[in-house]
Structure 1
């Protein structure tokens, strides 16, 4: 009724004497050539050294590139802050254009030229935008659209000029673009 929980040691013994002999005999080890093992270990270390040298070289190149990129655009914040000053200066010059012979106008014109030259020397360039050309979302920002007989997306007015810094967008040009005129409501 109840199972016998005790094991008999005779049950664990192999029945065949050949099994006993095979279990007691150690397996023959494969002969390891010490020179081949050393050569294999040396090759592993060479591979590791080459991989580490390549990783270091890539790190060094990436660091140099990052430094150059940082130096190239380090003035970006300062230049962005100068652009509204340039805009205000241009508006002032436009308002004072009635009296181009006055000394104040001539002096302001010289300062404006110096500021423009400074920005150009820093790599800042004006984005060329013309009224009538198609809108380019990469270089321009449409701040308003107006119904027009012009094709949709055509630049109608330039609100604020845009600039690039060494090929990278510094500030998009703000423009007004044409939108298709609404169809008149049909008469009932």
Structure 2
């Protein structure tokens, strides 16, 4: 190979090498430019990601509305509880008074053999005063009717007896019950009918 050919070959290698280096440098410059642009654009993107003043105002407005609603519910609940306390403030006293009334009525029943006696007349006057006192405090009696069906809400079956009456019929009232407004103070005690068991066949 002549000197000129070698020189031309070397130049081509050098040019090819320079072209490759220039291309790599060009790529590096492009990457650097892209990174620089990303860095420059970052504050704007971050600014867009941050909530606006209007969003913040809406957030605090919703929080204030929820707080106001919770407070209103709390206030209503407190008012209701206060009304319940006032409504049933005498419940314990009245519950303790019921056995006294039971004994008094049993005494009246014993004295009713002579309704013209001063004892019975005096007890009857006291009974009327007791009834007025109970009524003024919202107390009503629960007196099941014999022959009616048993009521789970206001009655308590202390005994079941075989009977030809339908199952659950009230046969006797042992003790009447009482209600304070819409709350049951004491259920009425009753005896209810039970379907008799079939007699064994001989």
Whether these two folds match at TM > 0.5 is: yes
Distance 2:45 2:182 in 1: 67
Equivalent in the alignment of 2:34: 22
Q: Which has the greater radius of gyration?
A: 2
Aligned length: 170
| Residue 161 (str. 1) matches residue 176 (str. 2) | yes
Q: Which structure: greater helix fraction?
A: 2
Moved over 6 A (4+): none
Range that drifts further, 54-63 or 22-31:
22-31
Equivalent in the alignment of 1:178: 193
Aligned mate of 1:127, from 117, 142, 162: 142
Distance 1:182 1:51 in 2: 64
SS of equivalent to 1:170: strand
Aligned mate of 1:40, from 15, 30, 55: 55
The superposition leaves residues 107-134 of structure 1 with CA deviations (integer Å, 9 ceiling, x where unpaired) of 1111111111111111111113111111
Distance 2:60 2:66 in 1: 10
| Residue 60 (str. 1) matches residue 75 (str. 2) | yes
- Cα-Cα RMSD: 1.9
Distance 1:23 1:160 in 2: 93
TM-score relative to the length of structure 2: 0.78
